[in-house]
Structure 1
């Protein structure tokens, strides 16, 4: 092999060449070694040339350091700094050794050819970040001087405004990203385009999606022309969509490119034949197999030959859950159901998979295979349930009533797929299921008819407190690996225990309101009082938490110095510094009484690795301040009492109307009983999560106690390092005392990438995102649609809040947020309405909105980006849409 410092030929490059050839150059080197793939010849000017080029400038390090101090929110500031460094680099000469080596490589590859000169950064075309289009590309470059000039301009383009901002947003240091330059023989194609070996819209890995147009691909990449769309699946064309192609870009004889109009008779002619599209898709799948993942491929068709110009990973696809049986599976996001769609660390995932009692076979300590991880989120595998006849019938109905209509429709859509329509449904488990459910069904029947439930909430609260005390004592009685194994055993019992506590009561709470609605419509023709009947029931643990925090706010408002302290308080020394403020001791007592009851809660509380209110009391400050700014003293209690009276009046009105009908006495008694039962029992809806979250808190404390020992012994750097391990891996670490620090660091990096992903609500095992979108008649043009979960119509200013800790809400505003969990409850007394991007009929925000009597629409796609903070909007909680006024 010829020795050279600044140039590497394509046959010398592969995927390990990233540091010297950049992402584009390394990928081209890999392509060059794929059998049956034609790649135009060329070479790469390595990052060593770039570093020697900028290394000649004593000013460059100062200019680079200035970029790290930039406010990337200021377009003008970014432009000034970028222009300064670009002008400086353009003034530098290309060192003679670089000129000589590049010229020699150009002559060896063919001085008579035209070339494409493309930037190839070391932070480009990576699996986690594409950086596509951030640096420059030059086409049809001819001659030595033009080539060298384009190379310098590529180096300079590392500091375009868009590249500077993109690196900052993706947390890449400006000084640690280097640029190589790809020099490749030009192909002058009749047709060119882009091919995705997975459908970038639906996410399906089974579909190859091809965009094609006439001339050079630059017209398509730059958005100048609509392209023909071809989709291929399983070796056959499944979709062809021919566009009107008005312009194309072609090479000029003297160098460079020119845009030309396409004659009218050619504008709607297919750019590719069907056979060529299928053949091209086959090449794409071969390239995908070589790279080990879906690819974004630039291709062209010239003189009867197909050329591949570039291939990079598709970075926008959501990762797939792992499956091993080769079947098509359906997955539903647990995070959407629990109102927590953030990425989770490995320990949080491991705890929840251990907590799930299903599909484990004989080992209850195992992690359930029916909860699959993808993109640091958990997905419920619905496939085995849908393989049963009863599951196919009941699951869409159940999801529609308990969650939302879009999820129900997504499941129904999945059931129409050929793989499922042709699969015989199993029936054998129905009898055993009915046998197990029979005792609960008898209790439900008795609970509806005659049992007194006024004491149920108090009994359940007592049982929960007793179980938490007992289990905490058990965990504290052992240590080491035995404590972790006991945690595994305990977690596997929590869901069955929660079910046995509340199943017969919660189901009655739900059934009773459905019966009230159905019977009211049947006997009276309407259910006008239904909206108010559910207001302010007594005993909901989450509502009581919101009222208790309102009480804390009322104590804070008495002491102006405390109020000022809270506005700038930090979690470290929070209480010790609070004591030194006038009124601080009184507020501290109120806060600590609150935290004694609810300190184990917090945002994203199903994730055991997330901070609790007890650990970060400043999480509560925005809600406390919003209460003080927007509500009068005791208004939260007054509003709750008002809601209770409205419910009583609504019940009295409904009963009075029924009494005036035929057989009214009996109808009124039936409805009166159902109303009483509903208000007694619907409040236990939040108790299962309350029960589980308290146990997650004691589990977290036990794990951190063991982690503290590992950190004290020098095995871990800090106790929180265990958050990057599963329960089984922690047991192994305690027993072997051999940490895998590289694994922990790798998982940290993966987590940072996964945090940026938007998880789909329903997806298949081949990556297809099934939306199950709602379509309604009489929806105003431009309105956003979702699931109506709390009736009423309200207008007001939108308060878009992405994070609870950043909440600054005033009474009467409409809360617009990705989701809510119990941590958001303190904002509900201030809200005039609620809009969320995820959620359903029985999720937290919906239940609390109904209790407070505020209109709510949930499951509204992209609500927090489409609706702007401060805009006036109208919510229709009857029909499920939002108008931006």
Structure 2
């Protein structure tokens, strides 16, 4: 077997290091019997021996390694230098002879397509599509050798260098093979995706087709006819006006030909041909086991496959166990944490959900992992109840308007209406169980004094967390994991029982105040003021407490300077050595004692907490010192409370002037009182949950530390890559397959690059319902959650630990969870990519009286840091006032 040339019939997936992704796939398909034109690959050994002849490549690769992806000018200059150098090297005679021999065996009288095939190309995780060059209609030995040399040099085009740098591929670790394949001179050619590349639907085959060679489509110089096939039938057919085609020249090379007359609008494929193509696409997909991007052509009505690669841009489909269509909603969007979660974090959350389990210690099948995130299948099951179908979209408005609209879109689809799903009825026993809670809510609204509810919740949290701490410290080893599973299974139920009559009361009274104001007065002008500074919100209290820490720090310049360079591991110890450090130390200790278990993305148990990475708080503290006067945060809170009283007074005065005004004012006064006394409890459930998660994390790390001491784990934090069940098994067996951790770390890195959709079906289709707001031309639409308007400088913050804000800036973020609360006193307005009426950012924005728009897709990309923007939190849109920051 020639080390420099392998023919397609000698190649399968095991030869990827020798022939690259494209070559391996062609060999696989050829061996499997698919209609692939004959050809061979010039192996990576040839490329390596070719560049080994150079005395400069090592130095040039060293220079490339130092460049960052955004250094485009430097990349362009150095890339050109590398390409020129490679084109100047003589091909060694042994390599040249092997190529000529392979060409003669394949057919020296034929024309060839010569394509690059990199070893990091056409993989499930990175396609490298279009990064290297292709040469068509190559004739004769001289043209072939020159095309091979150009392919080798194309490994260092600007786009290839940038792509490798962005995707973490070492320039020295990617090698190039060259595919030499007999040309087919087709009437029609194109690209076929075995999943819809726009929506992600895995049941749809999408075909682009045009006349002539496929290069016209690949290079984007011609509009294509579009055919979509599902279940063996055409579901969409869109015929383009085709102005240009590319055809082969007799002497070699290609020409662009202008199409004329009816040919420009003639369908390039018949329906039968499109369906036949789709069937072959499905067969290729089945062979490779994943959706494919396939180049094909049609000559004399015969289909030829020119290459196939995995589609790497699709979001993974959440798994299902039947063939019915399901709708999955993102758990991360509900919880304001859309980032990838480690396996232990996923396991904890699935164990935490008490429903959909085969055993109390197991993990719920209502939450499934896809792309390192969790998706809920609960909505599919709820839609089986006719009584809930009409109400679910309205209920979901409280979480996220786009959730609501996605569910409406899903229910309107024919495949949902004709799915033959069961029409379940809510059992009377469930209604009977819910009746006492519903009655308690009614009593709370009508006549109960609710002032003690928050104090009661605080006592419950303190007592229960103490009990759980004792339970976890009494045992060790596998039994400790069992207790964790038992505890997780009960936390949510216990929390719901405690707040079931209070939190719904607060939400219902808010909606009643809004609806009755609109009905009786024709507007909700006072609604925003009424929501300001309610008592008892633990998250608001946390923000105020951090403001107190900032006020302690502001009087000590040496401490401020220390914070700018502090180290997490020795944060408190080093603070003691700084002038003034001992004076502010009690403030930090008090804050960490109460809130140290919090942090960004805190629903993921594996994420660092403020106690572990205190420097995360430094930007908020320094911004507070810079932007807020001493004590102003406390005064602002009191001012908000006073404004709420004034707003309530104005609302009641206006109502008294209406018919039956005394009666209406009396009802409204009661609703306001109940709402303000109970809305503060909204953050307590999560506070309680995170306290328990913190306990669990600490004891798991204690067990992991012992495993690391025994050499079973390399580091204690490696336990984050295991599920609770797996940790228990390791503790019992004292054995671990470390390759499992390695593979999960690699998957995590791939999943980090994915953008999780809000809603996705079991067919893989991403539902992207648009916001409902009517917006001015050019404005960005979201959901209005806190009334008012604000203008200011956009401060786009992707990570809390990188936050730098001045008073009056408008905070633009992917999401906000409780950890972001310290920034709210500085913000004049809020814009987030996820959220709803009752999610954290919305509630806190109303408490601070700042306008807020949430659910604005890609807000952090559409709005640039430093731009002047206007936020309309009443109607739900954002206007960019200055296009250039």
Category of TM-score, reference length = shorter chain: over 0.9
Q: Partners in 1 of 2:274 and 2:427 — Cα distance?
A: 48
1:468: Cα distance to partner?
0.6
Q: Partners in 1 of 2:700 and 2:681 — Cα distance?
A: 29
* 1:25 maps onto 2:23 in alignment: yes
1:63: Cα distance to partner?
1.5
Deviations 1:493-521 (A, max 9, x none): 01101101112101010111111122223
**1:242 maps to which residue?**
239
1:661: Cα distance to partner?
2.9
Q: Secondary structure of the equivalent of 1:406?
A: helix
* 1:884 maps onto 2:868 in alignment: no
Mapped contact 1:298–1:310 kept (Cα < 8 A): yes
Mapped contact 1:390–1:430 kept (Cα < 8 A): no
Q: 2:716 aligns with which of 690, 702, 719?
A: 719
1:391: Cα distance to partner?
2.9
**1:411 maps to which residue?**
407
**2:363 maps to which residue?**
367
Q: Secondary structure of the equivalent of 2:502?
A: helix
Q: Partners in 1 of 2:425 and 2:316 — Cα distance?
A: 35
Distance 1:151 1:872, change over 3 A: same
1:94: Cα distance to partner?
0.7
Mapped contact 2:599–2:609 kept (Cα < 8 A): yes
Q: 2:145 aligns with which of 135, 144, 148?
A: 148
Deviations 1:765-804 (A, max 9, x none): 1101112213444x21121111111111222111111111
1:267: Cα distance to partner?
1.2
Q: 1:675 aligns with which of 663, 672, 677?
A: 672
Q: Partners in 1 of 2:355 and 2:699 — Cα distance?
A: 25
Q: Secondary structure of the equivalent of 2:791?
A: strand
Runs of 5+ unmatched residues, structure 2: none
**1:10 maps to which residue?**
8
Q: Secondary structure of the equivalent of 2:210?
A: strand
Cα root mean square deviation, aligned: 1.2
* 1:224 maps onto 2:221 in alignment: yes
Mapped contact 2:338–2:373 kept (Cα < 8 A): yes
Show the 5 A alignment for 1:385-400: 385-400=382-397
Q: Partners in 1 of 2:720 and 2:646 — Cα distance?
A: 51
Mapped contact 2:281–2:294 kept (Cα < 8 A): yes
1:525: Cα distance to partner?
2.8
Mapped contact 2:386–2:425 kept (Cα < 8 A): no
Mapped contact 2:830–2:851 kept (Cα < 8 A): yes
1:842: Cα distance to partner?
1.0
* 1:832 maps onto 2:828 in alignment: yes
Deviations 1:609-638 (A, max 9, x none): 100000000110111111112111112112
Q: Partners in 2 of 1:128 and 1:586 — Cα distance?
A: 53
Q: 2:476 aligns with which of 473, 476, 479?
A: 479
Q: Partners in 2 of 1:151 and 1:648 — Cα distance?
A: 79
Mapped contact 2:400–2:834 kept (Cα < 8 A): no
**1:593 maps to which residue?**
590
**1:569 maps to which residue?**
566
**2:68 maps to which residue?**
71
Q: Secondary structure of the equivalent of 1:126?
A: coil
Q: Secondary structure of the equivalent of 2:265?
A: coil
**2:417 maps to which residue?**
421
Deviations 1:842-864 (A, max 9, x none): 11111111111111111111111
**2:612 maps to which residue?**
615
Q: Secondary structure of the equivalent of 1:875?
A: strand
* 1:100 maps onto 2:124 in alignment: no
**1:864 maps to which residue?**
860
Mapped contact 2:405–2:770 kept (Cα < 8 A): yes
Mapped contact 2:326–2:380 kept (Cα < 8 A): yes
Distance 1:75 1:734, change over 3 A: same
Q: Partners in 1 of 2:245 and 2:810 — Cα distance?
A: 49
1:97: Cα distance to partner?
0.7
Show the 5 A alignment for 1:330-345: 330-345=327-342
Mapped contact 2:788–2:851 kept (Cα < 8 A): yes
Deviations 1:429-480 (A, max 9, x none): 3312211110100110111111111121111011101111110110010000
Q: Partners in 2 of 1:264 and 1:75 — Cα distance?
A: 44
1:425: Cα distance to partner?
4.1
Show the 5 A alignment for 1:318-329: 318-329=315-326
Show the 5 A alignment for 1:194-273: 194-273=191-270
Q: Partners in 2 of 1:769 and 1:677 — Cα distance?
A: 41
Q: Partners in 2 of 1:775 and 1:391 — Cα distance?
A: 22
Mapped contact 1:389–1:425 kept (Cα < 8 A): no
Q: 2:554 aligns with which of 552, 557, 566?
A: 557
Q: Partners in 2 of 1:72 and 1:515 — Cα distance?
A: 54
* 1:702 maps onto 2:699 in alignment: yes
Deviations 1:636-658 (A, max 9, x none): 11211111111100011111222
* 1:138 maps onto 2:135 in alignment: yes
Deviations 1:171-200 (A, max 9, x none): 111111111111101111111111100001
Mapped contact 2:773–2:782 kept (Cα < 8 A): no
Q: 2:810 aligns with which of 814, 817, 822?
A: 814
Q: Partners in 2 of 1:507 and 1:380 — Cα distance?
A: 22
**2:789 maps to which residue?**
793
Q: Is the deviation greater in 767-776 or in 832-841?
A: 767-776
1:337: Cα distance to partner?
0.2
Q: 2:779 aligns with which of 783, 793, 804?
A: 783
Mapped contact 2:870–2:878 kept (Cα < 8 A): yes
Show the 5 A alignment for 1:52-91: 52-91=49-88
Q: Secondary structure of the equivalent of 1:809?
A: coil
1:705: Cα distance to partner?
0.7
Mapped contact 1:659–1:668 kept (Cα < 8 A): yes
Q: 2:757 aligns with which of 756, 760, 777?
A: 760
Mapped contact 2:816–2:841 kept (Cα < 8 A): yes
Distance 1:40 1:424, change over 3 A: closer
1:22: Cα distance to partner?
0.4
Runs of 5+ unmatched residues, structure 1: none
**Structure 1 runs of 4+ with >4 Å offset:** none
Q: 1:120 aligns with which of 108, 117, 120?
A: 117
1:714: Cα distance to partner?
0.6
Mapped contact 1:190–1:214 kept (Cα < 8 A): yes
Q: Secondary structure of the equivalent of 2:391?
A: helix
**1:728 maps to which residue?**
725
| Number of residue-to-residue matches in the alignment | 879
Q: Secondary structure of the equivalent of 1:883?
A: strand
Q: Partners in 2 of 1:616 and 1:333 — Cα distance?
A: 28
1:385: Cα distance to partner?
1.6
Report the TM-score, using the length of structure 1 for normalisation. Answer: 0.98
* 1:581 maps onto 2:578 in alignment: yes
* 1:633 maps onto 2:625 in alignment: no
Report the TM-score, using the length of structure 2 for normalisation. Answer: 0.98
Q: Partners in 2 of 1:645 and 1:245 — Cα distance?
A: 68
Mapped contact 2:773–2:877 kept (Cα < 8 A): no
Q: Partners in 1 of 2:832 and 2:861 — Cα distance?
A: 11
Q: Partners in 1 of 2:772 and 2:391 — Cα distance?
A: 22
* 1:497 maps onto 2:508 in alignment: no
* 1:314 maps onto 2:311 in alignment: yes
Mapped contact 2:334–2:400 kept (Cα < 8 A): no
Q: 2:292 aligns with which of 292, 295, 303?
A: 295
Q: Secondary structure of the equivalent of 1:798?
A: strand
Q: Partners in 1 of 2:641 and 2:435 — Cα distance?
A: 35
Q: Secondary structure of the equivalent of 2:878?
A: strand
Q: Secondary structure of the equivalent of 2:540?
A: helix
* 1:181 maps onto 2:181 in alignment: no
Q: Secondary structure of the equivalent of 1:33?
A: helix
Mapped contact 1:71–1:77 kept (Cα < 8 A): no
Q: Secondary structure of the equivalent of 1:603?
A: coil
Q: 1:548 aligns with which of 528, 542, 545?
A: 545
